[in-house]
Structure 1
């Protein structure tokens, strides 16, 4: 090797070492991660050092434009408690991700082609958003128009930041950061602000983009949004409002908590607030959400289905017990999702955080016993589906209705299996993920419907296999004739036959791939991607389809930000190098935003 080239490489290695060990913690991690994964995923390891230096020393000079109102200056009528303090960084976690070996050359080439095809679909959507709906919440993928849903803060832009970074689209990323730097979170196009959506899309998106890039502008804007959401805790009992009265919150007057909300709404703040405290060193965010989750913790075993919480709760009364409807699906889903993930982020060494492990194990055991069933199908595939439970005076009754939103649960159980060293959880997760993959493959479009019914296997244990019975199936289907049309055998309804670009099924497939290393999951992901990309394609991007039971179904002029933030990200990660967003380095929020796992 020529002496000059050797010298250059040595200099580069010294710079990398200096950055890793001597830059402040968050920035050091972020830039080191760029070198190891993000750029390497797109260009191969030989170019890593050069691009690493480019990201480190040639980042565009972007400065935040302060919002027109400083949410951190609000004088609260009901100041939230400032304890407990944030737990110390976790010193040891169980290994989550499979120990991958490099793919054989032929397999690697196939996966690379697939990765690039997912990236192509993303770039088409992003380019159309950039040209036709820039700084708006969402692109309308058929007309090329736009729609604002969330206070006029460019939801798709913020939601897609980390996907741009992960796919190696650095120029597009920094263009987006320049735009984000100018968003005014002191103004809203709506009189109230949705706490849930603002938390998962905006705060989550900004935190993840900061965790990946280390750009201070993103941290600054995350604090602005965090303080806005923190103002929603200015209530008599310290419980958050579901919708923040924007102008009232600025005045610091006590806000009034709604009488009843879906349980997922207050239950889906833990990760974002906890990570924001980790990033800023300010305990106030963690303390607020810890008190909130104490209410769920203390009520968990007092409900009519002990171990789970009803679909609707009253935070004004701090009542998470009353109610008889239970589900893992819509209205409750991310409440359960955040329990194992909060444990991953925070650990169980601190008294204030140990509750997340307890709540996780308890709900997982309850759901396994009461909500999951093995449907009667013509074949012998070993699958599980998550239904709903209504609790009547004579006991719980399982309703075999499921929905696309429940499909996250397979990946979550697999994650729980690794976190808690529980093989039964892992196997249950695999069976649940196979259940959603089965639903995709069963329908003519290769895509599952938004909501559907199947036939319960008879007997006291609905998780056991039963033989196909044509007569039983016909009777069940006939009883639901108002929903029956073009259904594959085993399905008795497609109550809501749409597909609205949802990510939950591919989310679980991705997690099972990363946890088990079984290539069947990657093949499943490719089949799903081809079906989704083909059925939803439009001139500008991708659109929701009206009826998955019909090939070439009519499309809706609708594409939510989660298409680029979640669905395409999960597909991409199935085919990218496996240390890109490793599950041992990151935990993803319910909008697929990866948060760095702090390590002691």
Structure 2
């Protein structure tokens, strides 16, 4: 029986900042860089995290489970896939996809850095840093996804920089960002989905409606690009993402909803398909998080988020016959009663956005988050493996169950555990830890192989086959959220850090009366 303490365990020390000597603040460990905290001295964030040996004596059973899974995933990648983007754990070799241009960019290394740091795996962190210093090269002839490279690489590098203070991570993030800027060279300023890192030539996915860019891709750049301007003083990054926001604000939105497709040549919507899952999801997430990251001064972002959520509630959120709350998809004038695993992040988003909601709706949105968390837990609980399918339906007498074979797979996705973590942070209801523990045990039982972790092709089969891919986001997100779920609230507190959509923590920017280069005050 797993212990479910009403209060999270803590293994930190309360110390004065070793540099400034201010009043006691929560420091996770003394900084490894010469015994001082460069993050404090540079005024960039409000917490210092740094690993030291022997930090895990007080870890709970649940924390140790997530820690052990991370160690197995990393060690397997280190042995069999080092330098490749991802790992094929059964074939025991490297793996890559077209989102990285099939080049060896070490995506797993960059994606995992902050999780390693957070867990105190400092030897592994230094191995990753050494590889980045010696091998990470953005001058390769590779056509990459602007979105994926931004959230995984720029987000991962920035988080590693803020946590460790190591300048190499900031330098690499800026180098890569410069390689992405040509993607914005379109008639509208809406970036292409892909860009060649060497030539700067961009294009969109061939499958996208009418040559469109994707809402969740061009709408999920704000957090990282604002931090790039903050760190470098170069206004270009901030101006690029604010131009996107201004363009969207001028456009007519059917029923107040944002379609998933926008043509970067004409500035017109493509197919009228709206989703809070794939193709749309993180656009809404980044509206809320832009407000949070600005120390709640970006009221324009907050208003845009609130208006979008109101339209989502009106047109996409429904209850099933048995009372399960779900978020459907709007396609060509009708609601499709299907919810994706990706959509399950929204439970955490609603909870995160509850404080600051218009009117007296904080309780309403916290409850909505809880209802989405419950529905997504049901999608796990109604499978044989107790792992959630890629998508699940709410019609024809079926609820929270996948119908099509190509929607029954689980590829180590984090969104359900992410929502459990946010709901735990805001409610401390022990059921969220219990549900997370069940998910961790199921992943360890059915997805662990000797060479790492693999997704499974059918969560309704007692004898599933593997897809033979250890996704980089498994180390960046799934295992990070699991570990955080069972850790103290003082580890990466939500009043000081905002997580990008790849779970990379970036500090809240406390600018006071100052403004970013290229911006105007929004106060």
Is contact 2:138-2:176 (8 Å) kept? Answer: no
Structure-1 separation of matches of 2:332 and 2:203: 31
Is residue 218 of structure 2 the alignment partner of residue 266 of structure 1?
yes
Q: Distance in 2 between matches of 1:163 and 1:176?
A: 12
CA distance in 1, matches of 2:152, 2:447: 23
Q: Tell me how far 1:494 sits from its aligned partner.
A: 4.4
Measure the CA separation in 1 of the matches of 2:197 and 2:129. Answer: 25
TM-score by length of 2: 0.84
Question: Is the 1:138–1:561 contact (alpha carbons within 8 Å) kept by the matching residues of 2?
Answer: yes
* Closer/same/farther in 2, CA of residues 142 and 90 from structure 1, 3 Å limit: closer
Q: Which residue of 1 aligns with 2:120?
A: 168
Q: How far apart are residue 18 of structure 1 and its match?
A: 4.9
**Aligned-pair distance for 1:257?**
7.2
Matched residue, 1:344: 292
1:142 pairs, out of 86, 90, 93, with 90
2:3 aligns to what?
none
Tell me how far apart the structure 1 counterparts of residues 299 and 488 of structure 2 sit (CA, whole Å). Answer: 34
**Which residue in 1 is equivalent to 2:391?**
451
5+ long unaligned stretches in structure 1? 1-11, 23-31, 38-47, 60-88, 93-107, 456-471, 478-488
1:311 has 2:252 as partner: no
Q: 1:496-534 deviations in whole A, cap 9, x for unaligned?
A: 100000001101111111111222211111111111221
Which secondary structure does the structure 1 equivalent of 2:163 belong to? helix
Secondary structure at 2:482 match in 1: helix
Looking at structure 2, the residues matched to 598 and 417 of structure 1 have their Cα atoms a distance apart, in angstroms, of 20
**Alignment-derived partner of residue 418 in structure 1:** 355
Whole-angstrom CA distance in 2 between matches of 1:256 and 1:564: 30
**Which residues in structure 2 correspond to 1:188-587 (within 5 Å)?**
188=140, 190=142, 192-249=143-200, 259-299=211-251, 302-306=252-256, 308-319=257-268, 321-347=269-295, 349=297, 353-377=298-322, 383-392=324-333, 397-420=334-357, 422-455=362-395, 473=397, 491=401, 493-495=403-405, 496-587=407-498
CA distance in 1, matches of 2:58, 2:157: 33
Q: What is the deviation of 1:185?
A: 3.2
Find the residue that maps to 2:198 and give its secondary structure. helix
CA–CA distance in structure 2, aligned partners of residues 239 and 571 of structure 1:
35
Taking a change above 3 Å as real, the CA distance of residues 344 and 19 of structure 1, as seen in their structure-2 partners, is same
Q: 1:110 to 1:364 in 2, by over 3 A?
A: farther
**Structure 1: distance between partners of 2:173 and 2:77:** 23
Residues in 2 aligned to 1:53 and 1:292: alpha-carbon distance in whole angstroms: 39
How far apart, in 2, do the equivalents of 1:132 and 1:268 lie? 32
Q: Structure 1 358/372 Cα, relative in aligned 2: closer, same or farther at 3 Å?
A: same
Alpha-carbon separation, structure 2, partners of 1:538 and 1:303: 47
CA apart distance, 1:189: 5.1
Distance (Å, rounded) in 1 between the aligned partners of 2:148 and 2:135? 17
User: TM-score when scaled to structure 1?
Assistant: 0.73
Q: 1:577 to 1:90 in 2, by over 3 A?
A: closer
Please tell me whether the aligned partners of residues 193 and 246 of structure 1 are also in contact (alpha carbons under 8 angstroms): yes
Residue deviations 1:172-212, cap 9 Å, x none? 1112111111234343252x221111101100000111111
- State the number of aligned residues: 471
Q: How large is the RMSD of aligned CA atoms in angstroms?
A: 2.8
Whether the aligned pair in 2 keeps the contact of 1:242 and 1:261 (CA below 8 Å) is yes
Residue 34 of structure 2 corresponds to 56
Q: Secondary structure at the match of 1:172?
A: helix
Name the CA distance, whole Å, in 2 between partners of 1:142 and 1:342: 40
CA distance in 2, matches of 1:590, 1:223: 19
Distance 1:91 1:255, change over 3 A: closer
Question: What's the CA shift for 1:298?
Answer: 2.1
SS of residue paired to 2:449? coil
| Structure 2: unaligned runs, 5 residues or longer | 1-12, 38-42, 47-55, 206-210, 513-523
Structure with higher Rg: it is: 1
- The answer to whether the 8 Å contact 1:159/1:561 transfers is yes
Task: Report if the CA contact (8 A) 1:498-1:545 is conserved.
Answer: yes
Alignment-derived partner of residue 19 in structure 2? 19
Whether the 8 Å CA contact 1:344–1:419 is kept in 2: the answer is no
Q: What is the alpha-carbon distance in structure 2 between the residues aligned to residue 17 and residue 554 of structure 1?
A: 51
Question: Equivalent residues in 2 for 1:38-53 (5 A)?
Answer: 48=29, 52=30
Given that 1:235 and 1:257 are in contact with CA atoms closer than 8 Å, whether structure 2 keeps it comes out as no
Q: Which has the higher helix share?
A: 1
